[in-house]
């Protein structure tokens, strides 16, 4: 993370559905903390199902090139996917992760505590490896004498496991509890999960005690999910291979109520992209009632990843100070306010109170 940039160029890809309603809110949040940032520039970019239906491509080359050549980071909204398979269409988000080598999916899940003196009941970060494991999609269907047989390859490399491990150690080191839990199933999958576990454990070696203050624990994935539901407070930073990470990050999201409040970033060594965890929510799209918090928090998380801590802190504080009193909330959190009203409320706190 470097804060020595002269300017910060941010690609905005609202894509489909409520992405178009919540990404503008995230943009406003960044503008509201401009004084903490170098000169901010936004570039609007296309991708998604609507782009595909109009142009025949879900992820225009121009979008990828602009992100690569001109942007420091980006915010992605959400894509609608057709209910059946459509020839030529594939998710632009998956393609973007690949094109930009965004190998880490980072998802903080934090409940809001009404009493500022008490810590939140859930305050954890799931760090998911984003490029390999079963999701390399190397599947085969074979006809045998005994019927069909399906096989999939699960790829785990030392390189991918150590780089995700390094991200997880960095995050753990920066948090008050400094606890890292490695999630695996190496009692059964001793080769693949064994390599993941060993590679993450090896990260602190040879870096001169840099991570000496981080406590390392391990959990088998099944018991991790069980404990996540029974005693989520035991977790701080969890790091997992792709498949387990996918499941755990959605399970963790369920602990804090609405999908509308959970942010994420997709990070690589050269680029970071903020993305709310929710989808395009076709059931509420266009009504102006989507919760903008997930996107606003994604903007903060992206800024934090880039090293702009004070800007991120301001945004997160305004969000918490909006959620805790629960006076101005969208319908998913039991409120009656619109996207614009919640956004304005958060912006006013940022601009006038801190
Ligand atoms: P997609 O296929 O794009 O993922 P989906 O139908 O799965 O669409 P999600 O966006 O995943 O929809 O949302 C699941 C449910 O949560 C929907 O009922 C949706 O309205 C609600 N929801 C998701 N995000 C928000 C939000 N930001 N504000 C309010 N409600 C939301
Ligand atoms: Mg969905």
Picking from 24, 37, 106, 107, the residue whose alpha carbon sits closest to that of residue 72 is 37
Closest protein CA for atom 10 of ligand 1: 279
* SS3 readout for 206-231: CCCCCCCCCEEEEEEHHHHHHHHHHC
* Ligand 1 pocket residue status of 332, Cβ below 6 Å: yes
* Ligand 1 pocket residue status of 13, Cβ below 6 Å: no
CA 281 to ligand 1 center in whole angstroms? 4
* Ligand 1 pocket residue status of 27, Cβ below 6 Å: no
Q: Any catalytic annotation for residue 135?
A: yes
**C-alpha span between 215 and 334 (Å, rounded):** 38
Closest protein CA for atom 1 of ligand 1: 279
pLDDT tens by residue, the chain, 354 residues? 455 789 999 999 999 999 999 999 999 999 999 999 999 999 999 999 999 999 999 999 999 999 999 999 999 999 998 888 888 898 899 899 999 999 999 999 999 877 777 778 899 999 999 999 999 889 999 999 999 999 999 999 999 999 999 999 999 999 999 999 999 999 999 999 999 999 999 999 989 999 999 999 999 999 999 999 999 999 999 999 999 999 999 899 889 878 999 999 999 999 999 999 999 999 999 999 999 999 999 999 999 999 999 999 999 999 999 999 999 999 999 999 999 999 999 999 999 877
The dihedral through the CA atoms of 35, 1, 181, 205 has a sign that is negative
Report which bound ligand comes closest to the CA of 276: 1
CA 300 to ligand 2 center in whole angstroms? 23
The model's pTM: 0.93
* Ligand 1 pocket residue status of 290, Cβ below 6 Å: yes
Residue owning tokens 């997880």: 168
- DSSP string of 167-213, one letter each residue: HHHHHHHTSSS-EEEEEE-TTTSTTHHHHHHHHHHTTTTTSTTTTTT
Q: Any catalytic annotation for residue 250?
A: yes
Closest protein CA for atom 14 of ligand 1: 281
- DSSP string of 84-106, one letter each residue: S--TT---HHHHHHHHTT--EEE
* Ligand 1 pocket residue status of 291, Cβ below 6 Å: yes
């Amino acid at each position: 993370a470097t804060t020595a940039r002269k300017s910060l160029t941010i690609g905005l890809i609202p894509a489909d559905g409520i992405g178009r309603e919540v990404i503008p809110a995230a943009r406003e949040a960044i503008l509201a903390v401009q004084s903490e940032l170098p000169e901010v520039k936004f570039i609007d970019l296309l991708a998604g199902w609507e782009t595909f239906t109009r142009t025949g491509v879900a992820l225009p080359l121009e979008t990828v090139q602009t992100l690569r050549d001109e942007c420091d980071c980006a915010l992605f909204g959400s894509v609608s996917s057709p209910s059946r398979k459509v020839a030529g269409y594939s998710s632009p988000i998956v393609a973007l992760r690949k094109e930009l080598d965004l190998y880490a999916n980072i998802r903080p899940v934090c409940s809001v505590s009404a009493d500022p003196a008490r810590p939140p009941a859930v305050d954890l970060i799931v760090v998911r490896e984003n490029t390999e494991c079963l999701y390399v999609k190397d599947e085969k269907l074979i006809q045998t004498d005994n019927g069909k047989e399906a096989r999939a390859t699960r790829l785990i490399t030392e390189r991918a496991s150590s780089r995700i491990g390094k991200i997880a150690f960095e995050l753990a080191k920066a948090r008050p509890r400094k606890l890292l839990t490695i999630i695996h199933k190496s009692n059964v999958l001793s080769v693949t999960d064994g390599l993941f576990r060993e590679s993450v454990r090896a990260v602190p070696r040879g870096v001169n005690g840099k991570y000496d203050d981080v406590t390392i624990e391990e959990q088998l994935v099944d018991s991790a999910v069980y404990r996540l539901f029974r005693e989520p407070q035991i977790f701080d930073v969890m790091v997992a291979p792709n498949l387990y990470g996918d499941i755990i990050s959605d399970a963790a999201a369920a602990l804090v109520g609405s999908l509308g409040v959970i942010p994420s970033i997709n990070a690589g060594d050269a680029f970071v992209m903020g993305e709310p965890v929710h989808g395009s929510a076709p059931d509420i799209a266009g009504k102006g009632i989507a919760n903008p918090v997930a996107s606003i928090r994604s903007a903060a998380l992206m800024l934090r990843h880039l090293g702009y801590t004070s800007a991120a802190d301001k945004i997160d504080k305004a969000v918490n100070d909006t959620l805790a009193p629960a006076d101005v909330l969208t319908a998913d959190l039991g409120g009656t306010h619109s996207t614009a009203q919640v956004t304005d409320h958060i912006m006013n706190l940022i601009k006038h109170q801190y």
